[in-house]
Every structure is written in structure tokens, then in C-alpha cells.
Amino acid sequence: MTISQLEYVLAVAKYQNFTEAAKHSFVTQPTLSMQIQKLEEELDIKIFNRKKKPIALTDIGLKIVKQAKVIVNESKRMNDIVDQQKGYIGGEFRLGIIPTIMPTLLPMFLRVFLKKYPKVNLTISELTTPEIVSQLINGYLDVGIAATPLENEAIRERPLYYEPFVGYIPESHELYAKSKLEPTELDISEILLLDDGHCFKDNIINLCRPSKHLSTKYFTLESGNFTTLIKLVKEGMGMTLLPYLETLDLPESESKFLREFVNPVPAREVSLVYHKSQLKIQMVEALKNTIDSVVKGAISFHDVEIISPLKK
């Protein structure tokens, strides 16, 4: 039994396909299949049911995969321990970022981070909050960037910044005449939202009061991105709320649609999140310091109120 064999098993369990698992393991499919078959022969069991499409784990295979994750993760930690002792910042580093943060934050820090730490092999994935938590717990990610608190005992949270909410309001809306918004003025039935799975939607639902009347809207829309929401607002189809960093990329001509909130400003907490047993702390600190340096000048709000997302 070898670590490589266990890694191949984990790859097939993840992708449910030998060809796809081989591609992500950087070996040929025959090599991967042969090594898994050798492991099955050694253990005298079948880990996978190859007759099913997609490939499925057998009952004993489920237990093997669970233990394999522990063994592979612990083997990798040997190098992490040595790197930590030496203060070395390099090697594989897997980062997950939620969709409502990635488009604005990533361009701000990525070039700076890669230039400062050229020995880091950074892999970045856009993932929902539940996916980040799951992959951190299962060892597929080293660190995530998400809205917090997550309230998960296995996950550590390191706040990066507090990002205020900003109203984006068309001229036809009654709140357009206001110089500043108050949360009590927001009616959830009038706000265009992101679709389910985005914690920013949960933030807004928490912030807004229930509808004061039966909705007169003749359509319902939940979009997966802010660009669609902004375009619909400009067409007079409603209003929306944006995270502050999202507003920095808007043309100056659209600043007339933006409305900040009165103090205390409602905001979301954005944090680095990682498993409590994470040993790549030197890389986590390097990432945090880099993000701190680039965001520090971009967000200068004070006296913010943290609006926590609803738990899924």
C-alpha cells in the first residue's frame, strides 16, 4: 500500500470517473487503474463498483476512502511541519472564494501575492460557502474567503474587513430622493436579489423588513450575478443592494444611483477561513497580510454594524 495509491482512490471517489481522476492526478488512466487494482488485490476487497455509471463506492469502499483521507492528509502534514519550522512560504496552496467576493477582491491582491511569493503554487476555485466548508473539512482546500460567521466548530475565522452595503436605486424609486438610506426603509418585496446559495442574499433578507403590503410586482427574479441586477435596476425594474467593493468598478456616471446607509452602516464580515488543524499557517498569514495591505485604503468606513448571514 502506498500514499500514491490512496491518492488515486481519493481522486476516483471525488470525480467518479477513472479518466477524469487520472487527468487531475497527472498520470495516465491505465497507470491509475492498475495501481487501484493492486490496492484492491492487496486488501482483497473491491473499493469501487465499476458497473455503475457514474462509478460508485462499495460499502467497504466508503470506509476505505474515509481512512485514506486521514492518511493522505497526515502524510502531507509532514512537509508542512518542516516548512513551518523553516519559515518557508511555498508549495501547493488551495484557495476557495465565494462568488460575491471573488470578482472584486481577487484582482486586488492576486498580482501582489504572486509577485511577493513566487514559490507558492496557488490554485483558486470559486465555491459557495457550504462547498468551502465541506472542502476544508475534507482536506480539498487549505483556506477560503467567505462571509462570516460560519458557526462551525472545525473552522477558524480570521476577519479581513467589514464591507458596507450600498443601495443601487433608479430615479423612478421613492428612495432615490434620499441622500442616505436607513434599513427600516427597505422593503424586501422591492429588492432584486441574488439566487439561493449566495450568503449575500441572506444578508439582505436579514437586513430588510417584511413587505408592508401585498407585492404588486408582476415578475420574480433571482440572479446569479450583480451585473444582471444592475442592468435591471437601470431599466426601472426595482432596486438592489451591492457590496461596497462592487461599486468601485461602476462608471462615474452611475454614482447618482448609489446611496450609502446612515451610521451604523450595515456591513458583512469577510474572513479567511481554514481548518483548525491547518499547518500552512505561514501561507495563511502571507495571504492575510497581502489582502490587508490592498484593502486597507479601499474601505475606510467606521462604526459599521455587522449583519450576519442566515445559517443554511
- What are the DSSP E strand ranges found in the chain? 48-49, 56-57, 91-97, 120-126, 143-148, 155-168, 193-194, 222-223, 240-243, 258-259, 265-275, 304-306
> pLDDT by residue (tens digit) across 211-233?
544 444 444 455 567 888 888 88
Name the least confident of 7-16, 90-99, 301-310: 301-310
> pLDDT value at position 237?
79
Q: What percent of the chain has pLDDT over 90?
A: 54
Parallel/antiparallel/unpaired status of strands 222-223 and 56-57: unpaired
> pLDDT value at position 218?
42
List CB contacts of 34: < 8 A, sequence separation 6 or more: none
> pLDDT value at position 142?
93
The SS3 assignment for 277 reads coil
> pLDDT value at position 312?
39
> pLDDT by residue (tens digit) across 51-75?
888 899 999 999 999 899 888 877 7
Strand partners, 147: 270
Q: Give the residue carrying C-alpha cell 444611483.
A: 257
Report whether pLDDT(119) > 60.
Answer: yes
For the full predicted model, state whether its pTM sits above 0.85.
no
Higher-pLDDT residue of 289 and 70 is 289
List CB contacts of 268: < 8 A, sequence separation 6 or more: 147, 162, 163, 165, 199, 200, 203, 243, 306, 307, 309
d(CA 101, CA 110): 13
Contact by Cβ (8 Å): 123, 267: no
> pLDDT by residue (tens digit) across 17-53?
999 999 999 999 999 999 999 999 999 999 999 988 8
DSSP state of 91: E
Residue 200 grid cell: 449575500
> pLDDT value at position 69?
87
Mean pLDDT over each residue of the chain, to the nearest integer:
85
> pLDDT by residue (tens digit) across 61-114?
999 998 998 888 777 767 666 666 666 677 889 999 999 899 999 999 999 999
> pLDDT by residue (tens digit) across 133-178?
999 988 889 999 999 999 899 999 999 999 999 999 999 888 999 9
d(CA 240, CA 152): 30
Domains of the chain (ranges, CATH numbers)? 3-83 (1.10.10.10), 86-161+268-303 (3.40.190.10), 163-266 (3.40.190.10)
DSSP state of 26: T
> pLDDT value at position 4?
93
Q: Give the residue carrying C-alpha cell 484557495.
A: 95
Contact by Cβ (8 Å): 148, 136: no
Query: Which phi-psi region, left, alpha or beta, contains residue 135 (left: φ > 0; alpha: ψ -120 to 50)?
Result: alpha
